[in-house]
Structure 1
Amino acid sequence: MRRLRALLADTRPLKVPAYRRLFNAQIITVIGAQLTIVTVPAQIYAMTGSSAYVGLTGLFGLVPLVVFGLYGGSLADHFDRRRLLTATTAGLILTSALLFLQAAMGNTNVWVLLTIFSIQQACFGINQPTRSAVLPRIVPPELLPAANALNMTVFTGGAIAGPLVGGALIPVLGFSWLYLVDTLFLFATLWAVLSLPSLPVEAVAGSSPGLRSVIDGFRYLATQPVLLMSFVVDLIAMVFGMPRALIPEMADINFGGPSEGGLAFAVLFAAMPAGAFLGGVLSGWVSRVEMQGRAVVMAILVWGTAITGFGVAVALADGRAGGWLALAAVFFAAGGAADVASAAFRSTMLQSSATDAMRGRLQGVFIVVVAGGPRLADVLHGLVASSLGAAATTILGGVLVIVLTLAVSAAVPAFVRYRVPRAG
């Protein structure tokens, strides 16, 4: 029994009231957010029948994410973070409502959908670095790895329910109702944010918010090689190893499913977060890991291997589901478990190493990398798959993850050797 408790997720951060409120609200809102993440590419594929157009969600999400993610980090280092969270959460509610309206009115213009999606990502770009910068202010340092693992567990739990529900209900209810659920669920996050205390920056450093402040953050990052490498290896993993934009095509062509939603679509979208959820539930070990740099490298190598296996299973399916769909889901789930461990360690490295005055800007860079990497992957995979096909593109990406991760780890051994004092 004692060994089982040591393996299960460390729930001590939930004893902190402010964190517990945000955590509980996130359980609700992440399901709605994942419904939107599934519905947008499904709606675009239904409009166009093209993975290249689905890949444009990466471009339309990436540009505002980069611009407002970096600028949002600068704002988070100069203004009360509770106010920023309130304003951007309201923006997320408004854009989600606009997604509902365009679908309910029978929109057939893909550019209208992409524009609303782009505005939503701008709000997300400011919200997320601010939210992450708040965490070390409300959770003790020794509980940061556990808090990050819990956050990832909730996110991935919703990412399981979202695709399963969305994939099953899109053919029945249509797109608009799923956008409406996301809109309503976001009010739970707004309530949790409003219940936070005032959160001004402890000691504002550098210039006023803007381009110069963002540049100051990059200069600071350049002096921190371990943090810099944590961004590089994650970019490698996500840009080359995230075949998310190809899932509608895989479900339709490789596994013989319908062009709109269906079982294969839902299983493929839910498999990776299902693995990540299981990895989060069994994350009690993360607080005891001292060699965090090596742990990140190992997790990304497992990710690359799993994506390669996933692509092979897709290639062998040849228009059939059955056992090949199950095998593809197992590989994708294994990748998800590896990703949640990598994310927990990388988040902890940043939050524990950066000063409060710089934390917002570095979290801005972090969210650009974490969310921007998959969007770059959407564009890259969509373009390459038009020539090589979805399965070959996925296999190539997984192999590149392994090769490039080994190369940069050999080039910067300090990252692999990075260690922290054992918590608790």
Structure 2
Amino acid sequence: MSTGPTLRERLRRLRMDVTPLRESRDFRLLFTAGTVFYLGGMVSYVAIPFQIYDLTGSNFLVGAVGLVELLPLIVFGLYGGALADHVDRRRLLIGSGLAQLVLMAVLAANSFLAEPSLPLIFVVAALLAATSSLQRPSREALEPRTVRHDQITAANALSSFGMQVGVLVGPAIGGVLIAWVGIGWCFVVDVGALAVACALYAAMRPYPHRGETTPPSLRGIAEGWRYAIGRRDLLGTYLVDIAAMLLAMPIVLFPALAAEVFERPELIGLLYSAETVGALVATGLSGWTSHVHHHGRAIVIAATAYGVCIALAGLAPSFAVALVCFAMAGAADMVSAVFRGTVWNQTIPEHMRGRLAGIEMLSYSVGPLGGQVRAGFVADAWSVRGSIVSGGVACVGGVLLTAALLRDFWSYDNRTDEHAVAERERREAAGT
């Protein structure tokens, strides 16, 4: 008589699958480069707004950094995606990384001046947004080629883990550097991180395109949009992400939540780190994700759980309960992200992957900006708790409506989906 898996086997399934790191040299290089890149980037992420506030004392000018970054992000994100489908993605990673290194060195030099230039900071911030947007589609489009098709889910979880480590540790390092040695050293650290990342990219083997490519153009970008909208399973992943980011992101309300609602302003840093801690725990226990095949349902369930946890955080009777709810929300959001990345990387054809990565980048870059506006407006018109709770409830409604309207998304199964099967067969024929 057959028996089910033992407790030890069940626990082993939860353990993060590190097979891609163990078997693929280039994935190790890409993973390490990405982790170092995010770590250094989050150090300077803290430094730029702090320096602007230190120079001006203006919260408006601090927020204006996001405004000057928005247009370059949109334009160069889309162009970078189209470029990634035409040129060698590895070379594009190196070239855009070196450009960021030079720009970060300019910020460092400016910071060590007796009177740092404020206009220069804004100009460099816009250029950094442009070069970063050029780079990211290539990095995301290249990852699937460094691992086997059946390892994509595990690779997504590992990459997310590295990113979250940078997001959690980077700001802490930045805060210590600002307090002890000055803002300029934050940029120096990022210069070093970018140099290491570029060296790791250079150590990877070349990844030329396998077939005919599409030169970057408005026509090529439009072709990517038509493909994304025409596939209802992909459209579902974008709409779910937008629903979460646009409707339920509470970050802009953390200062008011800590100071006014819970009257614990000294603990505001915990609010900012709670979701990241939850995401790290989720990726650390992500071994089970490789055994899931109905990725659409997994995304819907995880995104719904995210909205529920955000709403519960808004209702939390204490600061500690709110932290737990935000941590659970971060875990749910990370699970959703892992499966969204799996759908993209397992089904999008090689010749379209860069453009689709550029489109996907817009959903998680522009969405949070709109989410901040929504959260702040509702909080001022109603209340901080009301804004958080209503955002979570709206997120749940948006996710469930997406699942109801896009049945192909809800029923997606990577074992039978025509796009997943076709991509798997193409990779098997190519021996990858």
Structure 1 residue 139 displacement after superposition = 0.8
Match of 1:5 in 2: 12
Residue of 98, 110, 130 corresponding to 1:122: 130
Deviation readout 1:134-179 (Å, 9 max, x if unpaired):
1121111100000000000111122121233334554444433223
1:56–1:379 contact (8 Å) kept in structure 2: no
Q: Does the Cα contact within 8 Å between 2:37 and 2:194 map onto a contact in 1?
A: yes
| C-alpha distance in 2 between matches for 1:103 and 1:306 | 41
- Contact 1:279–1:340 (Cα < 8 Å) also in 2: yes
Structure 1 equivalent of residue 328 of structure 2: 334
SS of corresponding position for 1:418: coil
- For residue 71 of structure 1, report the CA deviation from its aligned partner: 0.5
Tell me, yes or no, if the aligned pair for 2:177 and 2:185 is still in contact at 8 Å: no
Instruction: Show the 5 A alignment for 1:201-216.
Output: 201-206=209-214, 208-216=215-223
CA–CA separation in structure 1 for the residues paired with 2:254 and 2:25: 39
Letter of the 1:131 counterpart: R
Confirm or deny: 8 A CA contact 1:309 1:395 kept in the other structure.
Answer: yes
Match of 2:428 in 1: none
Is 2:262 aligned against 1:268?
no
Match of 1:221 in 2: 228
Q: Which moved more, 1:359-368 or 1:243-252?
A: 243-252
- Alpha-carbon distance between aligned partners in 2 of 1:251 and 1:45, rounded to the nearest angstrom: 21
Provide the residue aligned with 1:61 in structure 2. 69
1:227-242 correspondence runs (5 A): 227-242=234-249
CA distance in 1, matches of 2:81, 2:115: 34
Relative contact order (C-alpha < 8 Å, sep 6+): which is higher? 1
| TM-score normalised according to structure 2 size | 0.86
Change over 3 Å in CA distance of 1:275–1:77 after alignment to 2: same
- Root-mean-square deviation (CA, aligned residues, Å) is 2.8
Q: Does 1:291 align with 2:294?
A: yes
Deviation of 1:44 (Å): 4.8
Residue 140 (structure 1) aligns with: 148
Measure the CA separation in 2 of the matches of 1:331 and 1:228: 28
Shift of 1:95: 2.7
1:206-252 C-alpha deviation (Å, 9 max, x unpaired):
4x212111011112223211101111110111122223334455555
Corresponding residue number in structure 1 for 2:251: 244
Question: Structure 2: which 5+ residue stretches go unaligned?
Answer: 1-7, 425-432
CA contact (8 A) 1:55 1:381 kept: no
Once the two structures are TM-superposed, the CA of residue 190 in structure 1 deviates from its matched residue by 0.5
Is 1:156 the counterpart of 2:150 in the alignment? Answer: no
Return the letter of the residue paired with 1:359: R
1:182 corresponds to 2:190: yes
Deviation at 1:202, TM superposition (A): 1.4
Shift of 1:107: 6.3
Aligned twin of 2:430: none
How far apart are the structure 2 equivalents of 1:274 and 1:383? 28
The aligned amino acid for 2:283 is G
How many residues end up aligned between the 2 structures? Answer: 410
5+ residue gaps in structure 1?
317-322
Aligned equivalent of 2:90:
82
Instruction: Tell me, in whole angstroms, the C-alpha distance in 2 between the residues paired with 1:390 and 1:98.
Output: 39
Match of 2:371 in 1: 377
Structure number with greater Rg is 2
Give 1:358's match in structure 2, choosing from 352, 369, 380.
352
8 Å CA contact 1:55–1:379 kept in 2: the answer is: no
* TM-score (ref. length: structure 1): 0.87
Q: Report the Cα distance in structure 1 between the residues aligned to 2:51 and 2:130, rounded to whole angstroms.
A: 21
**Mapped partners of 2:245, 2:143: distance in 1:** 24
